[in-house]
Chains A and B, each alone.
Chain A
Amino acid sequence: MSTIAPVAGPVPRFEPAVMRRKLSGTVFYGACLAAIGLLLLALVALLVDVFVRAAPWLDVDFLTGVPSSRPARAGIFPALVGTFEIGVIVGLLTFPIGVAAAIYLAEYASDSRVNRLLQTNISNLAGVPSIIYGILGLALFVRALAFGPTILAAALTLSLLILPVVIIASIEALKAVPQAQREGAYALGATRWQMVSRSILPAAAPGIMTGIILAMARAIGEAAPLILIGAFTFVTFLPNPLEGQYTVLPIQIYGWAQRPQADFQGISAAAIVVILVLMLVLNALALVVRARLSRHIQW
């Protein structure tokens, strides 16, 4: 301001208002803490509610039994096996394809129009709702390629769903490797592929593996696309990946949660505990793999 208006009336006392300004800051900090407190409360409520409901139903028979119209005899073994089979196939498919795509985009792609399109396309795919992938899988794998509503069709669909996640995580891991590492490899006469495969990939491995394990956790917890791929059925036998009906844990949870009786809510909660433990194991695995692989990396 260029001019200072003359003060009318009594001259105000020197009032820097620091107290008031600091107070509003304190109030704001309190609001931040309250927000986190609320989130923590919701999380605790969720876990306590699920565990209390699940407790009476969780036993070995529940893990090894098959679904039944009588909650007391119902088990989740077919769903566990289905989830396991899908997890393995998804891992085997997305690991090579996802890492290869990431290597291309991070290490090979020049800044051409085609490559920018590939990059944009992958980030857009990551935002497509999972149920849309179910529609694609239904039309492509179940019907056009005639795999039918099988584990194979489900695993292929989930692979397409998590590929963008794997690619994005792998690109980040590759880009985090310092440029000097590449120049060092070239200086020793390495070709581009030798540089990537022997110098950059090992250095990026912890990040890539973490990304893949977390993406697999996402695939295992996903239910929406599989409803379209025919997972919502009453399965009392162990699934064969190539033919016949199957189910997976999240779908089994949904099927039981849909029924109004408290007993079915109970076994649904018990299945939730199992899937949460599975998630915990995968997350712990990601931490362990990360720690082991990054032991020798220093920069």
Chain B
Amino acid sequence: MTAPSISLAHRRPLGERVIETFLFLAAALGVLTTLGIIAVLAFETFEFFLNVSPIDFFTGSRWSALIKPQSWGVLALVSGTLLVAVIALVIAIPLGLLAAVLLAEYATPRVRTVVKPILETIAGVPTIVLGFFGLNFIAPQLLRPLLGADTIGVFSALSGGIVVGLLITPLIASISEDAMRAVPRGMREGAFAMGATKFEVVRKVVFPAALSGIMASIILAMSRAIGETMAVVLTVGTKPQLTFDPTESVQTMTAFIVQISIGETAQGSIEYKSLFAVGATLFVLTFALNLLSGWIVRRFRTAY
């Protein structure tokens, strides 16, 4: 045996390196997931485009997969999806931001113990339950008596938009609250010292300072609304069409994927492959919004 040499270079024991490798592999599993998603969507979508021209797919506005003559204009599904998402945002932005201000600026401990559980409960309810609520309450007991049964049916973009709006409100509230809390106290106190009222501090100091986080929360919520499935599937109907009328029945991209999956569609048929093309469109759209949200945070964040 040679005498142990004392070296300043630190050599880590084998066990430690094995453990680190294992931990790294666990973290790298996510990359495989991403690659898997992209590979599956790209491969099957490519097969779909061997049968359907991409130009017709991306520019056509009539979608008919199950009723002949077939037509593959995805804009009908994209517009239905965006209509629902926009209605959802119109509801969720004011509700979520007001809740966030309440929590971040006005919250006495008593207010907090009321507001937090409400938001957390809504966030924790499975989305199929919200779909059920839309189908059995929002549409028949709220919208139809209010707007008239001839104006709005059981299935409508409005009904879907309302339940999705409810569902994304906690998301906007919690991210925006964090953004407002990150605004340093000194800025508020400076404004108070100059005689501003609480509302003026919120409106002219806290809100602008937290704007990047607020914008990011809204875009993230939009991405979530676009990808939402179960709340939409029970409420918007199955009528793909390009319309801006919220009282109309529409079909979203996610609802179409569900319709094909539960139907008796033969594997390998063109209808079946269209599921992947619509999935790819959905993936690209939500992925772009998620990247945009991250970019806004990085680009416009002011470090105090």
List residues of chain A with CB under 8 Å of any chain B CB. 18, 21-22, 24-25, 28-29, 31-36, 38-40, 42-43, 45-46, 49-50, 53, 96-98, 100-101, 103-105, 108-109, 117-118, 120-125, 127-136, 139-140, 160, 163-164, 167, 191-193, 214, 217, 220-224, 227-228, 232, 250, 253-254, 257-258, 265, 268-269, 272, 275-276, 279, 283
B208 contacts across to A, CB distance below 8 A: none
The CA-CA distance from A45 to B142 in the complex, in Å, is: 11
A38 touches B95 (CB 8 A): yes
A39 touches B22 (CB 8 A): no
Most buried by B among A18, A31, A36, A268: A36
Does B282 lie at the interface of the complex (its beta carbon under 8 Å from any beta carbon of A)? yes
A193 contacts across to B, CB distance below 8 A: 15-16, 19-20
| A–B Cβ pairs within 8 angstroms, 29 of them | A24-B199, A25-B198, A29-B199, A32-B98, A35-B98, A39-B95, A39-B122, A39-B166, A45-B137, A122-B27, A124-B287, A127-B223, A127-B287, A128-B227, A129-B254, A131-B229, A131-B279, A132-B41, A135-B279, A136-B37, A163-B29, A167-B27, A193-B16, A227-B261, A250-B230, A253-B129, A254-B230, A257-B135, A257-B136
Report the minimum CB–CB distance from B46 to chain A (whole Å): 13
In the complex, which residue of chain A has the Cβ closest to the Cβ of B22?
A100
Report the minimum CB–CB distance from B251 to chain A (whole Å): 14
B220, B223, B261: the one contacting A232 at CB < 8 Å is: B261
Report the minimum CB–CB distance from A107 to chain B (whole Å): 8
- A163-B29, A250-B128 known; A140 vs B40 contact (CB < 8 Å): yes
Binds A, one of B53-61, B65-73, B113-121, B178-186: B113-121
The CA-CA distance from A36 to B114 in the complex, in Å, is: 9
B229 touches A129 (CB 8 A): yes
Report the minimum CB–CB distance from A129 to chain B (whole Å): 3
A124 touches B126 (CB 8 A): no
In the complex, which residue of chain A has the Cβ closest to the Cβ of B234?
A257
In the complex, which residue of chain B has the Cβ closest to the Cβ of A194?
B16
B27 touches A109 (CB 8 A): yes
B135 touches A129 (CB 8 A): no
| B contact residues, range | 35 or more
The CA-CA distance from A227 to B254 in the complex, in Å, is: 11
Does B271 lie at the interface of the complex (its beta carbon under 8 Å from any beta carbon of A)? no
A228 contacts across to B, CB distance below 8 A: 257, 261
| Cβ-closest 4 pairs across A and B | A129-B227, A221-B126, A25-B199, A224-B229
Report the minimum CB–CB distance from B150 to chain A (whole Å): 20
A49 contacts across to B, CB distance below 8 A: 133, 136-137, 141
- A100-B26, A131-B229, A221-B126 known; A42 vs B276 contact (CB < 8 Å): no
Does B168 lie at the interface of the complex (its beta carbon under 8 Å from any beta carbon of A)? no
Considering the complex, which residues of chain B in the window 258-277 have a beta carbon less than 8 Å from any beta carbon of chain A? 258, 261-262, 275-276
B15, B122, B227: the one contacting A131 at CB < 8 Å is: B227
- A22-B197, A132-B279 known; A50 vs B129 contact (CB < 8 Å): yes
B227 contacts across to A, CB distance below 8 A: 128-132
If over half of B's interface residues share one DSSP class (helix, strand or loop), that class is named, otherwise mixed; here it is: helix
List residues of chain B with CB under 8 Å of any chain A CB. 12-13, 15-16, 19-20, 22-24, 26-31, 33-34, 36-37, 40-41, 44, 94-95, 98-99, 101-102, 106, 114-115, 118-119, 121-122, 124-133, 135-137, 141, 166, 169, 197-200, 202-203, 220, 223-224, 226-230, 233-234, 254, 257-258, 261-262, 275-276, 279, 282-283, 286-287, 290-291, 294
B23, B276, B294: the one contacting A108 at CB < 8 Å is: B23
A22 contacts across to B, CB distance below 8 A: 197
B19 contacts across to A, CB distance below 8 A: 193
B122 touches A105 (CB 8 A): no
In the complex, which residue of chain B has the Cβ closest to the Cβ of A161?
B33
B95 contacts across to A, CB distance below 8 A: 35, 38-39
A103 touches B23 (CB 8 A): yes
B33 touches A136 (CB 8 A): yes
A21, A31, A139: the one contacting B40 at CB < 8 Å is: A139
B33 contacts across to A, CB distance below 8 A: 125, 136, 160, 163
- A32-B106, A275-B126 known; A139 vs B44 contact (CB < 8 Å): yes
The CA-CA distance from A179 to B30 in the complex, in Å, is: 27
The CA-CA distance from A120 to B27 in the complex, in Å, is: 11
Report the minimum CB–CB distance from B235 to chain A (whole Å): 10
